[in-house]
Amino acid sequence: MLEQLREKNPGVKIYSLEDPKFNEYGKVYPDIPVEDLFSLAQGMYEIPDGTMYEASNPILEKITSVESIRREIFGEFPIQVGCCYGYNTALNGMEYHRSSEVMGAVTDMVLMLGQLQDVDSELGWDSTLTEYFYVPKGTLLEIYGTTLHLAPCRVDENQFKALIILPAGTNTPLEKGPEGKLWMKNKWLLAHKDGPAAKRGAFVGVYGQNCHVETF
């Protein structure tokens, strides 16, 4: 799959999660058993087009393996389990949290990542700094709080599906409404001018081309 993606995207370098480059952005957790969680999510969340996100799903949050994630990665802090899914192939912007985010790849997918340290307070973030990572189905990984990210990208004609696990309350509406980069609770958003969030009034803070992934 990775080699096929590289052939379809000759203009960019797509890394494996095994590459030391990923250590700058996150960590893989191969030893936390999450088969029950992935199996349940596999049969949920189907849409004909577009991309959707649900922050919290009580059914997923009751699964046994969630407690292992809550303890081993979040130190028993209250968490929420939701899902991002659909047909995205574009960058569209970058977000960050003041906490790690855990993703579970229910399908194969590609992540576009960047570093919070590279955001210029006046200019924003340059999309030429985007780095691409192939995430195989069945992977549980942590994205650090200093990592810029947004929705994953699909790899073929089928939709991608990613479990999204965050501190409880993240990505819920703000009490006083959005202001500048602060878009939702514990979510700072830098939109690209051509992305859907910019059309909804989000702060435009990503400049350069709207990067995308060629699927097969």
Within 13 Å and on the Cβ side, how many CA atoms surround 33? 3
The pTM assigned to this predicted structure is 0.97
Domains and CATH numbers, the chain: 2-172 (2.60.120.10)
Give the residue carrying structure tokens 């003041």.
Answer: 98
What is the pLDDT at residue 160?
A: 98
How many CB atoms are located within 10 Å of the residue 118 CB?
11
What is the pLDDT at residue 137?
A: 97
What is the pLDDT at residue 186?
A: 98
Distance separating the N- and C-terminal Cα atoms of the chain: 10
Instruction: Going residue by residue through the chain, which has 216 residues, state the pLDDT in tens, using 9 for 90 and above.
Output: 999 999 999 999 999 999 999 999 999 999 999 999 999 999 999 999 999 999 999 999 999 999 999 999 999 999 999 999 999 999 999 999 999 999 999 999 999 999 999 999 999 999 999 999 999 999 999 999 999 999 999 999 999 999 999 999 999 999 999 999 999 999 999 999 999 999 999 999 999 999 999 998
d(CA 132, CA 111): 6
Write the CB contacts of 193 (distance below 8 Å, at least 6 apart in sequence). Answer: 204
What is the pLDDT at residue 119?
A: 98
150 contacts 139 by C-beta, under 8 angstroms: no
Q: Cα dihedral angle (145, 151, 155, 157), rounded to 10 degrees?
A: 160
Inter-helix orientation angle 35-42/64-72, to 10°: 120
Among left, alpha and beta (phi > 0; psi -120 to 50; other), residue 175 is alpha
